[in-house]
Amino acid sequence: ANKENDTGIVSQALACQAEGPGISSYASDPARVGESLQGCLEEALALIPKAKHHETPMFLGATAGMRLLSRKNRSQAEDVFAAVSRALGQSPVDFRGAELLTGQDEGAFGWITINYILGLLVKYSFSGEWIRPLEETLVGALDMGGGSPQNTFVPGGPIPGLGTELRCLGGRVVFGVLTLAATLGAMAVQVFWLQN
């Protein structure tokens, strides 16, 4: 497979909306959360060749609703995660766990996703070469989720005090969080791309 710095080129093959609201809504009846994920799991399994099921990794990253539930009632949140893990762990794929994503992770993953889909991080040319687009072509992302909006963008220069780093596609994504309105729980995630 074509790879740049051991990072494979991927494309989206399926988009599926799980039944019902988010997993945090099953706090009072965690046993039902697995049922809500079953339809999408079956659709995904139908696309993956059966011989590849056991080597296909699967993760579940929970976002704002579960972050809020975890703060409000940690025991209920743990019960929901346990039910998700039981349900997805029974599938034939390599389930690697369900975990709570931080707002920073959620913002960074969204930013990477949109820039990757738009071909702005790295491209594989027809001549077999890797092309890295210019940094100024990167776009920002605004995620207006139900519990924690993330605004992810390229700042004009270095921001002192950034301590979180994520490596992808041969470069480093460095981001930090600034609180805009603590009463609303709004956050701005600042991201910039550093070429190696």
Q: Is the pLDDT of residue 7 over 70?
A: no
Q: Is 190 annotated as a binding residue?
A: no
Residue spans of alpha helices (H) in the chain: 33-47, 64-72, 74-89, 103-117
pLDDT tens digits along 48-107: 889 999 988 888 888 888 999 999 999 999 999 999 999 999 999 999 999 998 887 887
Burial classification of residue 175, based on how many CB atoms lie within 10 Å of its CB (0-12 exposed, 13-18 middle, 19 or more buried): buried
Q: Residue 17: pLDDT above 80?
A: yes
Q: Is 157 within any annotated ligand binding site?
A: no
Average pLDDT in the 5-24 region? 76
**pLDDT value of position 102:** 83
**Nearest CA-CA partner of 58 in 83, 40, 76, 77:** 40
Domains delineated in the chain: 23-100 (3.30.420.40), 104-195 (no CATH)
Determine which one of 55, 78, 106, 165 is catalytic.
106
Does 97 belong to an annotated binding site?
no
Lowest mean pLDDT among 16-20, 90-94, 190-194: 190-194
Q: Is 89 annotated as a binding residue?
A: no
150 annotated to a ligand binding site = yes
pLDDT digits (tens, 9 = 90+) for 110-157: 887 888 778 787 776 778 777 777 766 778 777 776 667 777 766 666
Q: Calculate helix-pair angle for 103-117, 64-72, nearest 10 degrees.
A: 170
Most confident of 96-105, 153-162, 168-177, 186-195: 96-105
Summary count for the chain: helices (H), strands (E): 4, 11
Active-site residue flag, 165? no
pTM, two decimal places: 0.71
